[in-house]
Amino acid sequence: MSKLLRKPENAEIKDGVTLVHNVTSENSSLEYVNFKMIDLAPGATYLEELGKQECCIVAVTGKINVTDQEVTFENLGTRETVFEKVPTDSVYVSNDRTFEVVAVSQARVALCYSPSDKQLPTKLISAADNGVEHRGTGNNKRMVHNILPDSDPSANSLLVVEVFTESGNWSSYPPHKHDQDNLPEESFLEETYYHEMNPSQGFVFQRVYTDDRSLDETMTVENGNMVIVPVGYHPVGVPEGYTSYYLNVMAGPTRIWKFYNDPDHEWILKG
Ligand SMILES: O=C[C@H](O)[C@@H](O)[C@H](O)CC(=O)O
């Protein structure tokens, strides 16, 4: 199995708290992006002290309360399944703070981390604050919820978006990359994908590859899997009959999303 593909761990870490995924700089090649997906049973709590990392807490499904021990946001979350295709609520918590998540209902919560040493205010990113984008044409259409885009100055290095791609369409396509710290041409952002499929027995194909093909992995990605994108182009193809969801976390030395399209395939944009 590709080292870039992660299947759910589903490790119970305390009563009512299951660690579904845990991507760290120790167990991956990523230096900027860290990620946890946790499942919380009703009433379960998860507390974390942040060091020099910031965190975007995404109420992926279900309802949660979030506090940084100074301010508390209650009843966050807008959906029982991501395939309701509505934006959800998130909370930004900066470095050197402690946060606690309390499950109001059964909940799946994404914890998206990146480096931070300039403490910023804790901020509710409500569903209504998500910019919704409809990108692409033909069989390249997808819908994007911008949870924490680079246009939002609330974070130091973190970028968080979620993407819905319908049956028979492609996303992150034409293939693009952001693996060179070469602004204004291209930014360097590591990336993680947390994938879900509807119906859940579905799969997508995701390729991660570099210009010199020193990295060239094509993966069958199933419901609940993650894909780690340290470098390279990273297109996703969705078979007929299924809808794809993925949550992206990106971070790098500069908080700008400036991608570079694969020249072999950029002609597709010219229609
Ligand atoms: O670089 C960002 C990720 O590849 C996705 O968020 C991608 O941009 C989604 C899309 O535009 O299809």
Determine the Cα–Cα distance for residues 78 and 60; give it in Å rounded to an integer.
Answer: 9
Do the interacting molecules here have an ipTM over 0.95? yes
pLDDT of residue 74: 98
- The pick from 142, 144, 209, 244 for probing ligand 1's pocket by mutation, whose C-beta has the most ligand atoms within 8 angstroms, reads 144
Whether residue 244 has its Cβ less than 6 Å from ligand 1: no
Which residues on adjacent β-strands are paired with residue 161? 146, 248
pLDDT of residue 171: 98
Token digits of residue 135: 């990108």
Going by C-beta distance under 8 Å and a sequence separation of 6 or more, which residues neighbour residue 12?
18, 19
**Separation in Å, CA 66 to CA 52, 80, 153, 214:** 20, 18, 21, 43
Which ligand 1 atom lies nearest to the CA of residue 234?
4
DSSP letter for each residue of 182-195:
ETTTEEE-EEEEEE
Of 238, 224, 83, 250, residue with least CA distance to 173: 238
Mean pLDDT by 10 residues, the chain (271 residues): 96 98 98 98 98 99 98 98 98 98 98 98 98 97 98 98 98 98 98 98 98 98 98 98 98 98 96 69
pLDDT of residue 165: 98
pLDDT of residue 175: 98
pLDDT of residue 130: 98
Token digits of residue 207: 């390729």
Distance 43 CA to ligand 1 centre (A): 34
pLDDT digits (tens, 9 = 90+) for 11-35: 999 999 999 999 999 999 999 999 9
| Coil/strand/helix, residue 83 | helix
Residue with tokens 């984008």: 133
Backbone phi, psi, residue 139, to 5°: -95, 30
Greatest C-alpha distance within the chain? 54
